[in-house]
Amino acid sequence: MSKQVPETIKKQVKRSFNSKEVKKEKNEKRMKLLKEIQTKAFKRAEKYEKEYLEQEQKLVELKQQALKEGSFYREPEPKLAFIIRIRGIVGVPPKPRKILQLLRLRRIYSGVFIRLNKSSLRMLHFIDPYVTWGYPDVETVRALIYKRGHARVNHQRKIIDSNEMIYDKLQKFDIVCMEDLVHEIYTVGKNFKHANSFLWAFKLKPPVGGFSTVKKSFVNKGEHGNREQYINTLVKKMI
Amino acid sequence: MTTQQLRPIVSVFPIKGKVKTIKQVPLPSVFSAPIRPDVVRFVHTNMAKNNRQAHAVSTTAGEQTSATSWGTGRAVARIPRVKGSGTGRSGQAAFGNMCRGGRMYAPKKVWRKWHRKINTNQKRYAVCSAIAATAVTPLVMSRGHRVNKLPELPLVVSDQLQSLTKTRQAVKFLKFIGAYRDVEKVIRTKKTRVGQGKYRNRRHVLRKGPMVVYARNLGIKKAFRNIPGVETASVYTLNLLKLAPGSQMGRFIIWTESAFKLLEDIYGSWEKPSKFKSGFYLPRPVMVNTDVERIIKSDQVQTVLRNRRPRSRKYGKKIQRADPYEDMSVMVKLNPYYKTKLQKQKELEEKNKKERKEIVDKSRKEYEDWLYFSEEEEEEEEEEEEEGSDEDREIEVLSDEN
Q: Residue A159 pLDDT more than 60?
A: yes
Mean pLDDT across the stretch B256-262?
A: 97
State residue B118's pLDDT score: 98
CB–CB of B323 and A147 under 8 A? yes
What's the confidence (pLDDT) of residue B385? 61
Q: What contacts B289, CB < 8 A, 6 or more positions away?
A: B295
CA distance to partner chain B, nearest, from residue A112 (Å): 20
**Dihedral sign, CA of B356, B361, B366, B370?**
positive
Query: B4 pLDDT exceeds 50?
Result: no
Question: Which residue in chain A has the smallest CA separation from B299?
Answer: A11
| Model confidence at B392: pLDDT above 60 | no
pLDDT digit string (tens) for B84-113? 999 999 999 999 999 999 999 999 999 999
Alpha helices (runs of H) in B244-337, residue ranges in sequence order: 257-267, 292-297, 299-302, 328-334
Q: Are B34 and B131 in contact (CB under 8 A)?
A: no
Tens of pLDDT, residue by residue over A30-43, are 999 999 999 999 99
pLDDT value for B134 = 97
**Chain B residues interacting with chain A (CB cutoff of 8 angstroms):** 294, 297, 299, 302-303, 307-308, 313-315, 319-321, 323-325, 330-331, 333-338, 340-341
Give CA separation, A27 vs A24, A34, A39, A177, B37, in Å. 5, 10, 18, 20, 52
Convert the pLDDT of each residue in B172-183 to its tens digit. 999 999 999 999
Q: Which of A41, A143, A154 shows the shortest C-beta gap to B314?
A: A154
Q: Cβ B334–A156 below 8 Å, yes or no?
A: no
Average pLDDT, stretch B125-130? Answer: 98
Q: Which residues of chain A are within 8 Å of residue B301 when distances are taken between CB atoms?
A: none
- pLDDT category of residue B288 using cuts at 50, 70 and 90: confident
CB A162 within 8 A of CB A146: no
Any alpha helices (H) in A3-111, and if so which ranges?
A: 7-15, 20-69, 94-102
Residue pair B94/B82 in contact by the 8 Å Cβ criterion = yes
CA distance A13 to chain B (A): 11
Confidence (pTM): 0.55
In eight-state DSSP terms, residue B103 is P
Candidates B297, B321, B333; nearest CB to A12: B297
Query: With contacts defined as CB-CB under 8 Å, which chain A residues touch B297?
Result: 8, 11-12
Nearest CA in chain B to A8: B297
Query: Residue B15 — very low, low, confident or very high, per pLDDT cuts 50/70/90?
Result: very high
* Cα distance between residue A126 and residue A32, in whole Å: 50
Average pLDDT score, chain A? 94
